[in-house]
Structure 1
Amino acid sequence: MFVYGTQFHRPPNPPRQTRVAALEQIAGPLGFNTIKVWTMWNWCNPEPDVYDFAELDEIMATCDRLGLRVIVNTILETAPYWLAEQYPEARYVNADLEPLNLRGRSSDPNGGWPGLCLDHAAVREAAANFLTALANHIKHRPSLLGYDCWNEPHVEPAWFNSMWPSPNQMLFCYCETTTAQFRSWLSQKYGTIANLNEAWIRRFRSWDDPLPPQTHGTYADWLDWRRFMIDSMSDQMAFRVKTLQVADPDHFIMSHGAKFPPIDPLTLSSINNVALAQPLDRWGCAIFPKWHRMTPALMAAKFDACRSDARGKPWWLAELQGGHGMTTGLQRSAHVQPSDIRLWNWLALVAGTSGILYWTYMAEATGTEATGFGLVNAAQELTPRAREAARICGLLQRHEALIERYKPRPQVGILYDPDNQILSFAMEGKEDPVTGSAQGYYRAAWHSDVLARFLQPDEIRELGPDIRVLLVPWHLIGKPETAEALNDYVRQGGVLICDTALGLFDENGWQQSRTPANLHETWGIVEEEAFWVADDGRPATIWERMGPLSSPAGAYTVPPDLVSTSPYVAVTDPVDGTIRGRHLITPLKVSAPAEVVGTCQGMPVAARARVGKGTVYYFGTNLGASIHEGDETALRLVGTLIGQHTTPRVVGSRLRPRLIEGEDEALLVVFNDQSEIVCETMQLPPVYRLARDVDSESSQSLDDHQIEVEVNPFDVRVIHLRTKLNKASWGYRSA
């Protein structure tokens, strides 16, 4: 079964008296097969040892009758008030050492948010009791499909805790229990206080001395602090999974994220999605494109990242925006149109999803999300977008066998290391240089009509011959094993594209003597002293806003050197053109086997090195960020390299085609991310001999294996292809 449905219940919505009719609408006119419900800890556990699952029973009994399947989303992030009264020391504490009382917020109007710190033993025991009681209560229900054990895993209060948060109010958790566990983690890592002192440059006397950092300026302590928090989040995932598995070993357990590094930042959230997904049966993502103003390329990047993080397990689009998003109680996103529903569904499908669930069935009822996100309105009337979702549901069931057999085959790799993003946060208080570079490089893959695989350093040696191009966005962490694996990848025939400052710092944030670290001799490339590049006159940090001491407070002065004020790189290979550098311009010393392929102010700043059977392209700037900021020459350069070394099944000019292929049939999915109608002729693989539009069910002509495709602005067109000249085999309603 291809799972297709919607989030249904989060107290108090939908109203209790309307739920049976609502479920009948979901199973009937909409034709969905699955719903998801939030079981919120504080709502279902109002007193010690008292569990109230009456509302869940009513919903599941109706689903039993209607044949709907139910995903139960367990929400520990709304803790019972009685538990907070018993253990006030278990409240989350921010970097200003302020404990957070339980409260309501936009996504948790019934209170109990942000929950209590699960590092506290009594809180974890109470959470385990709740999960166990829930699983024991529902595990025999025919409608139960599985559990979503953690909604968008992250350090919960780090997101949306105020309309006016200071940076320190987004950093957690500094409670006594978490601080003690951090010290224990440090003790296990370093063994002796002397070893910690050497790494952190301290004079601690005992393990009682180290504290989590609260202000920026140092690197080693921040790296360890957020590594620990990431490990803690991964441990919490394992705890949730194990607890549910013991109580109910017969149903799957999943989770879904909302941030997907390196496309998204990770440090405040404290997430490593690969580690979070490891104990799960399946993984998933939450995407709100109109709310968060996502381009199709950015959505595709997140889907590819989600699939990559799952490492071979099934993944779902577990939350897809159903109606307009709400930023505050008044501000809202653009409306969701039927064409959006089509576009978003097919973007997920070409990336390989095996389930799609909307957020949410009915427009939210109260709080700052009220009026938003619903497929249907508050009166439960079907909207045009809901009718389109129903139509697509039927279409996907028709092509279910093909979609289930489909296996995406990425041809481009994008490397990232969570430590690299933590270092960026320690350096800048943000991760923009990394995330911008990753988004830019992915855009080049998107325009090259190939899928991408996001990978961490431990996966480099596992890359097969399909990944011919490996992109390394803004990677300042230099680990010897990563450098060795990258070099071996190139020697074996791979093409490697790198930004400047590769391996500038070691694992403790110490500057290395040569960059690219551990690779400069082999590649014949050595970085010289870099120039900082002003970001189009936009001050980014307090120091930039202050300006030099000779300027009035708040003034901003552009650095006086020509490189910083005119950071243009003239490139000659693989294209001729000029690129506007970003973040740094780094002169290079180039020797054999490297050759200069780009200059700035007469200085070498880009090089190509033939190493073994492969090639390294090294750029003395943040090339990915240049693409992200709209530099067309940078996009063309990386796209040309990708095109020279990959073999996309279908290629477009302004349209972006993808193939969902089976044994003797395929779906040609063509996206238009332009603001105007685009019509193109595309060359298909010669094996396909028949074509039919899946929406109109009309035959499409193939002339010498070419097909003409016209797609409306920001829309998608889907063509069913067959390898055999047998029109009777289409299986559609009519000829």
Structure 2
Amino acid sequence: MIYVGTQYFRAPTPAEANWENDVRQARAYGLDYFRFWLMWNWYSRHEGAYDFSSLERLLDICARHGMKVLMLVNLESVPAWLVKKHPEAVYRDAKGGLYMPESVGNTPAGGFPGLCFHNDAIREHGRDYIANLVRAFKDHPAIECWEPHNEPMFEPGRYNDHFYCYCDATVLAFQAWMRARYGSIEALNAAWRRNYGAFDEVQPPRRRGMYNDWLDWRTFALETLVSTLEWRIETIRENDPDHYVMIHTRGGSGVTRNLAKEGIDDYRMAALVDKYGTAAFPQCGPEHEYFIAMAGARCAARGKEFWMAELQAGPYGMGVHRNDAEPVCEFCGSSTMEATIDKKVGAFDPGEVTPERLAMWSWSGIAQGAKGVLYWQYRNESFGLEYGFGLTNLDGTPHARLEVVKSFHDTIRANEKLIDGATLPRNEVAIAWDPVNDIVNWTAVGCADAVKNSIKGMHKALWHADYPIDIVRLDTDVVDDDFPAYKVIYLPFSPRITAGSARKLAAFVRKGGTLVAEGSSAQFDDTMAVSPVVPGNGLDVLFGCRRADVRTMHHELIPSLRIGALKICTRMHKEVLAPLKGARVIGTFATGEPAVVENKTGAGRAVYIGSNPFIAYAGTADPSLVKWIHQVNKGVARHAWTNVPDVIARVLVNGTTRLVFLMNTLAKPVSVTLSVPAGGRARPAVRELTSGARARIALAGGTLSIRERLGPYGTRVYAVGPRA
């Protein structure tokens, strides 16, 4: 089953007068599913009493029209009576500042961010709300599933740069967690290099600077978040064992978000539920970034069904700005976002959300194996700061984007067996990362941008070269990913690599794999002391080199890399390498020092780059780096490819038929040649599913070529299979 639906209700909108017509119209335009946000304070005006009558009326309308509903339980909208009763549970930041529950962009009816669940009373009241809500509607014919939390993360950090919570209950919980983690105060003192006498003397860190303090503090926060999800899910399942439970994360999934600040660990969260997904609001970010988000969610789901669980459906809008990606005010220099986050947002042109662009985004999810596309949202939001995003016009009448959704839905339903039964072919390239490096980098400099841009740059370069990738975990804290399943693994900037991870990488290379790492890897050992040898934990032997000297340099000053005839832009580190015996220098800095070393070990090879060209690529695409990637990936199968870097090809397989997706991510028309391995000499049958347009096809040298002229954000979906 391929699910096509949209976010619809979040109190107080849409108005009840619109419900009947909206549901009828949405069904007529191919939408089978609505999501509702079920705001705690909206249904609990007084302690011990719940009024779900309005929700029941809306669900009854949905049932009459055959609309199924995803029920998202929102506890981050605390009732005012509970705030009054338990002021000690108000979120507290490191300086003692309180975050009083209020109205924000995604919670216009107030109560955000809720109260701290380390306080037992808040947790019990939250469980009571969930239990009463689920019991009230578990047998309603409109119910499809439950979600326990909207985009789980460290609240209320989504709306400012502070860290929470430092309330008394949280500090006590942290001290108990530390006691369980270390067993004795002597063990803690050895790890933190302190001289405490008892665990009740230990305070969570409040300023950056010490790695072990922050690693423990953030790990505690992450385990707390997971524990909160566990009791929410447990409460749902205790009261309704028949409907599935799913979670979706904030746009970008954990692989592109700062774990230290947000706490998004897709692997831990996906393990708790039946289905998993992530959000995508591509208008305001590079097109390649929602591709990596989908890859991250898919891989974290580990075989479970995953969804494009929030897809931007209309122009970005906040406050009085619309379709302009939050420019800084031309008059005062402020931004609407300053109402919700403590930083300015620069001006740039995000382009229009045209019907064609929405169609391309929709198909890109299916092309990566998603089994559901859920749009944000049906109507334009009419109350609060989140103004925009809708599939309809302001008055609720259909916009051309809604017509595109109907076409998308109808194409899927007409080819349901083919599309739903199609799966991704095995990918031979992976990016391996460890979320702990987010915490390390944040503790050092106050952000995780170097780590994240390294990951994004790796993906972007491989994306431009049409190598679909998997995201795998370098650490084994949550999962133990199968490295030998891949031919090439890319290792982004990773200042900490544990001894266990280093051994796993070495085994991968010895068995025939190719490993490519960016500079300054494993500069800390397992205790977070600086390693006397970089790369540390034995990786100097694997890569056949050691750091001789290092400088962090401004991107305008750092010399480029020279690999053969290629001149490659780089960024951040100039790490001069000293090759070990048997290793080979294959690249230098423009200033002549050794910069790239290759070492053959067992049946494989390891390549160490003493700089960060992928961080550079995240900002500015360098065709020379893509050329080098093709050299590194020699022998890696591509399922399909194009001759235009930003026109992306992806493949799904269903028996002897391949679904080939051709997606123009550019806002301009392009002429492109799509190439697909033919799998034999016989000329295959090719059918285009979305438009019925005839394609210009050629077969030569075992490769099927299809020439197309695509409009801005144009998409084609081909079924390629044997002739009848």
Cα deviation digits, residues 450-473 of structure 1 (max 9, x gap): 221111125696426552110110
2:187 to 175, 195, 198: 195
Partner of 1:26: 26
Letter in 2 for 1:650: A
Partner of 2:8: 8
Cα deviation digits, residues 376-431 of structure 1 (max 9, x gap): 12311101111111111111112222222222232211111111110000011000
Contact 2:461 2:621 survives alignment (8 Å): no
Partner of 1:50: 49
Q: CA deviation at 1:271?
A: 2.4
Q: Which SS does the other structure have where 1:644 is aligned?
A: coil
Is 1:308 the counterpart of 2:296? The answer is: no
**Separation of aligned partners in 2, 1:667 and 1:616:** 35
Is 1:283 the counterpart of 2:276? The answer is: yes
Q: CA deviation at 1:245?
A: 0.7
Is 1:273 the counterpart of 2:266? The answer is: yes
Q: CA deviation at 1:171?
A: 1.0
Partner of 2:335: none
Partner of 2:721: 722
Contact 2:568 2:625 survives alignment (8 Å): no
Structure 1 residues 402-441: aligned runs within 5 Å:
402-408=418-424, 409-441=426-458
Q: Which SS does the other structure have where 2:92 is aligned?
A: coil
Contact 2:544 2:598 survives alignment (8 Å): no
**Separation of aligned partners in 1, 2:431 and 2:354:** 32
Q: CA deviation at 1:37?
A: 0.6
Structure 1 residues 356-505: aligned runs within 5 Å:
356-370=373-387, 372-408=388-424, 409-458=426-475, 462-463=481-482, 466-505=485-524
Partner of 1:340: 357
Structure 1 residues 572-611: aligned runs within 5 Å:
572=564, 576-600=565-589, 601-611=591-601
Partner of 2:214: 222
Higher mean C-alpha deviation, range 194-203 or range 484-493: 194-203
Letter in 1 for 2:510: R
Letter in 1 for 2:24: E
Higher mean C-alpha deviation, range 248-257 or range 683-692: 683-692
Partner of 1:558: none
Is 1:645 the counterpart of 2:664? The answer is: no
Letter in 1 for 2:121: A
Which 5+ residue runs of structure 2 have no aligned equivalent? 325-350
**Separation of aligned partners in 1, 2:596 and 2:633:** 20
Q: Which SS does the other structure have where 2:199 is aligned?
A: coil
Which 5+ residue runs of structure 1 have no aligned equivalent? 162-166, 537-564, 726-735
Q: CA deviation at 1:122?
A: 0.8
Letter in 1 for 2:299: S
Runs of 4+ in 1 over 6 A off after TM superposition: none
- Residues 87 and 107 of structure 1: is their aligned pair in 2 closer, same or farther, counting only changes over 3 Å? same
Letter in 2 for 1:294: G
Letter in 2 for 1:337: T
**Separation of aligned partners in 1, 2:666 and 2:30:** 32
Identity %: 27
Q: CA deviation at 1:159?
A: 1.3
Letter in 2 for 1:264: R
Partner of 2:665: 673
Cα deviation digits, residues 513-566 of structure 1 (max 9, x gap): 111112213432111231111144xxxxxxxxxxxxxxxxxxxxxxxxxxxx34
Partner of 1:512: 531
Letter in 1 for 2:381: E
Contact 2:253 2:279 survives alignment (8 Å): no
**Separation of aligned partners in 1, 2:145 and 2:164:** 31
Cα deviation digits, residues 104-154 of structure 1 (max 9, x gap): 111111111110111211111111111111111111011111011111111
Q: CA deviation at 1:637?
A: 4.6
**Separation of aligned partners in 1, 2:674 and 2:380:** 41
Contact 2:255 2:293 survives alignment (8 Å): no
**Separation of aligned partners in 1, 2:535 and 2:180:** 31
Q: Which SS does the other structure have where 1:645 is aligned?
A: coil
Partner of 1:553: none
Contact 1:350 1:658 survives alignment (8 Å): yes
- Residues 645 and 181 of structure 1: is their aligned pair in 2 closer, same or farther, counting only changes over 3 Å? farther
Cα deviation digits, residues 248-300 of structure 1 (max 9, x gap): 1100001100142332222111221111111111111111111xx22221111
Q: Which SS does the other structure have where 2:375 is aligned?
A: strand
Is 1:262 the counterpart of 2:281? The answer is: no
Partner of 2:550: 530
Is 1:242 the counterpart of 2:222? The answer is: no
Letter in 1 for 2:522: G
Is 1:68 the counterpart of 2:67? The answer is: yes
Higher mean C-alpha deviation, range 193-202 or range 52-61: 193-202
Contact 2:483 2:508 survives alignment (8 Å): no
Letter in 2 for 1:521: V
**Separation of aligned partners in 2, 1:693 and 1:522:** 48
Is 1:172 the counterpart of 2:189? The answer is: no
Q: CA deviation at 1:322?
A: 1.4
**Separation of aligned partners in 1, 2:39 and 2:400:** 31
Is 1:134 the counterpart of 2:124? The answer is: no
Contact 1:233 1:271 survives alignment (8 Å): no
Letter in 2 for 1:387: E
**Separation of aligned partners in 1, 2:587 and 2:677:** 37
Structure 1 residues 314-333: aligned runs within 5 Å:
314-330=305-321, 332-333=323-324
Higher mean C-alpha deviation, range 138-147 or range 331-340: 331-340
Higher mean C-alpha deviation, range 328-337 or range 624-633: 328-337
Q: CA deviation at 1:484?
A: 0.1
Cα deviation digits, residues 584-624 of structure 1 (max 9, x gap): 11111102331111122222121011111111110001232
**Separation of aligned partners in 1, 2:435 and 2:308:** 23
**Separation of aligned partners in 2, 1:57 and 1:119:** 32
1:298 to 281, 289, 305: 289
**Separation of aligned partners in 2, 1:315 and 1:679:** 33
Contact 1:223 1:508 survives alignment (8 Å): no
Is 1:101 the counterpart of 2:93? The answer is: no
2:675 to 666, 683, 688: 683
Contact 2:105 2:385 survives alignment (8 Å): yes
The TM-score with structure 1 as length reference comes to 0.90
**Separation of aligned partners in 2, 1:472 and 1:35:** 40
Q: CA deviation at 1:340?
A: 1.2
Letter in 1 for 2:184: T
- Residues 566 and 157 of structure 1: is their aligned pair in 2 closer, same or farther, counting only changes over 3 Å? closer
Contact 2:433 2:475 survives alignment (8 Å): no
Is 1:120 the counterpart of 2:119? The answer is: yes
- Residues 231 and 265 of structure 1: is their aligned pair in 2 closer, same or farther, counting only changes over 3 Å? same
- Residues 635 and 298 of structure 1: is their aligned pair in 2 closer, same or farther, counting only changes over 3 Å? farther
Letter in 2 for 1:497: V
1:622 to 597, 612, 627: 612
Letter in 2 for 1:18: N
**Separation of aligned partners in 1, 2:321 and 2:713:** 26
Letter in 1 for 2:545: I
Higher mean C-alpha deviation, range 487-496 or range 409-418: 409-418
Q: Which SS does the other structure have where 1:702 is aligned?
A: strand
Contact 1:444 1:635 survives alignment (8 Å): yes
Number of matched pairs: 683
Q: CA deviation at 1:318?
A: 1.3
Q: Which SS does the other structure have where 2:253 is aligned?
A: coil
Cα deviation digits, residues 17-58 of structure 1 (max 9, x gap): 110111011112x12111111111111122122111112111
Contact 2:130 2:235 survives alignment (8 Å): yes
The RMSD of aligned alpha carbons is 1.8
Contact 2:249 2:264 survives alignment (8 Å): no
Contact 1:423 1:509 survives alignment (8 Å): no
Q: CA deviation at 1:60?
A: 1.1
